Amino acid sequence: MTTPVPRKLRVATTSLAGCFGCHMSFLDIDEHLFELVELIEFDRSPLTDIKDVGPCDIGLIEGGVCNSENVHVLREFRRNCKTLIALGACAVTGGLPAQRNHLSLSECLREVYQFRPGVENGQIPNDPELPLPLDKVRPIHEVVRVDYFIPGCPPSGPAIWKFLTDLIAGRTPRLTGGLLHYD
Amino acid sequence: MKQFLLDGQPIPFEDGQTILEAARAAGHYIPSLCWHKDLPPHGSCKLCVVKSAGRHVSACATPAKDGAEVESNTPEMNGERRGILQMLFVEGNHFCPSCEMSGNCELQALGYEYEMLTPRFRHFFPDRPVDASHPDVLLDFNRCIFCELCVRASRDIDGKSVFALTGRGIDKHLVVNAESGRLADTDFTKDDRAANICPVGVILPKRTGFAVPIGERSFDGTQISTETLKEES
């Protein structure tokens, strides 16, 4: 009798209001990537360029929520992913984009598109294709339920590897010692 | 000698010692943010919360009592401490990646100690403008946790009363005691005790921010519990 090959876990990733630094750090697990692709396959991700997320086991979200499209994508991930993980400082706390939260949104837009030195006849972009910015940038747990959090700007490759291997092996993921960092 | 039990371990103490002082002297860590050995206990941060005779008390302000049974390093108390840390994180603007205290910050180090992975609650995102008026010291109020260490050190040690807390609830904030409200208009100097006592990143000396690189700072390699016990022994 042959033992059945275990089904590969399906993983989706996305960057909302993020800088893709967490995705770069994910790639920093280097040769562990070879071990990882034996255990998982990618669904929607910047690595596959698949545009819509399907049913998945794990969703990794980089970045906070700064506009209506982010809300839409995040909710779609939550609907489709059994386990949703906030990856990095922006997803966990709002991070750098949230530094605009103490300013009014219209002030921010006017400052950048109308009053910045060198801008002539500037106007605030108003194309219907552009997602509307939210008045405040939010960490993802303020919009959907989140199962796990990996802090760090970005979380290190070893931290992401430890977390994922714990999770895939069925252990409660734990970051201790040098792996837990907020900066 | 008088003694009490801390998590089942006998802790000797002398009359007048608090639970926190006796525990640390015996090599047992109880966390704190607002407590300082050179100042009277303040009891505001509540990180040192312990259970004595079934009641929650601040270990920094409660005298040790002969025969008492005290719970501190338990999943229940550490869980409550994590909750307090999470509330402190969402109340201010604690953006570690851009903070020059990162790695030396006691709030951050306690987050690591108690394995806080998420701030969990809804962020307040308060508006707290910085004060860069002083030639040698920057004030970044975003990170203030209202421990009043600077208020007390300036008043009780420096004799200057440069800082105070004002407002209530969500409007509570740290202010500078000058008509203009600016630090430059006080007699504050970078050598004041108050300038060197902030456990987080509010009171920062200028031009030295990254003299010690990230990765080589106080709590980068060691836990704050280990570091604190080492300092106090």
Domain residue limits at A15: 9-101+133-179
Q: Using a CB-CB distance cutoff of 8 angstroms, which residues of chain A are in contact with residue B98?
A: 96, 99
Say whether pLDDT at A3 is over 80: no
Q: How many CB atoms lie within 10 A of CB A170?
A: 6
Say whether pLDDT at B221 is over 80: yes
Number of domains in chain A: 1
Closest alpha carbon within chain B to A154: B97
Average the pLDDT over B175-183 and give the result. Answer: 97
Rounded to whole angstroms, the Cα distance separating B40 from B220 reads: 29
Say whether pLDDT at A2 is over 80: no
In a domain, A1, yes or no: no
pLDDT digits (tens, 9 = 90+) for B17-30: 999 999 999 999 99
In a domain, A87, yes or no: yes
High-pLDDT (> 70) share of chain B, %:
100
pLDDT for the residue numbered A177: 74
Question: If DSSP codes are grouped into helix, strand and coil, which group holds residue A96?
Answer: helix
Structure tokens at B226: 């280990």
In a domain, A156, yes or no: yes
The per-residue pLDDT of chain B, averaged, comes to 96
Rounded to whole angstroms, the Cα distance separating B57 from B19 reads: 10
Q: Is the distance from CB of B59 to CB of B30 less than 8 angstroms?
A: yes
Above 0.95 for ipTM, yes or no? no
In a domain, A161, yes or no: yes
User: Bridge partners of A86?
Assistant: A61, A149
pLDDT for the residue numbered A4: 79
Say whether pLDDT at A87 is over 90: yes
In this complex, do A92 and B126 lie within 8 Å of one another by their Cβ atoms? Answer: no
pLDDT for the residue numbered B124: 95
Place of tokens 């690591």: B112
Nearest to B42 by CA among B175, B199, B209: B199
In a domain, A113, yes or no: no
Nearest to B82 by CA among A94, A98, A146, A149: A149
In a domain, A4, yes or no: no
Rounded to whole angstroms, the Cα distance separating A58 from A43 reads: 10
Write out residues 4-63 of A within 8 Å (CB-CB) of B: none
Q: Which of A93, A148, A175 sits opposite B119 (nearest CB)?
A: A93
Say whether pLDDT at B86 is over 80: yes
In this complex, do B118 and A94 lie within 8 Å of one another by their Cβ atoms? Answer: no
The per-residue pLDDT of chain A, averaged, comes to 95
Place of tokens 């970005």: A154
Place of tokens 């779609």: A76
A145 touches chain B (CB under 8 A): no
In a domain, A167, yes or no: yes
Closest alpha carbon within chain B to A142: B122
pLDDT for the residue numbered A94: 98
In this complex, do B98 and A96 lie within 8 Å of one another by their Cβ atoms? Answer: yes
Say whether pLDDT at B232 is over 90: no
Q: Which of A99, A142, A174 sits opposite B95 (nearest CB)?
A: A99
Question: What does DSSP assign to residue A135?
Answer: E
High-pLDDT (> 70) share of chain A, %:
99
Structure tokens at B164: 């105070």
Residue B130 or A176, more confident = B130
Q: Is the distance from CB of B90 to CB of B57 less than 8 angstroms?
A: no
Question: If DSSP codes are grouped into helix, strand and coil, which group holds residue B63?
Answer: strand
pLDDT for the residue numbered A1: 65
Domain CATH code at residue A85:
3.40.50.700
Rounded to whole angstroms, the Cα distance separating A71 from A77 reads: 10
B232 membership: H or E segment, kind and range: helix B224-232
Say whether pLDDT at B112 is over 90: yes
In a domain, A107, yes or no: no
Identify the residue among B82, B115, B121, B125 best suited for mutation to test binding to A, counting A beta carbons within 10 A and taking the highest: B125
pLDDT for the residue numbered A5: 76
Residues 6 or more apart in contact with residue A88 via CB below 8 angstroms: A18, A21, A22, A25, A62, A63, A95, A150, A151, A152, A153, A154, A155
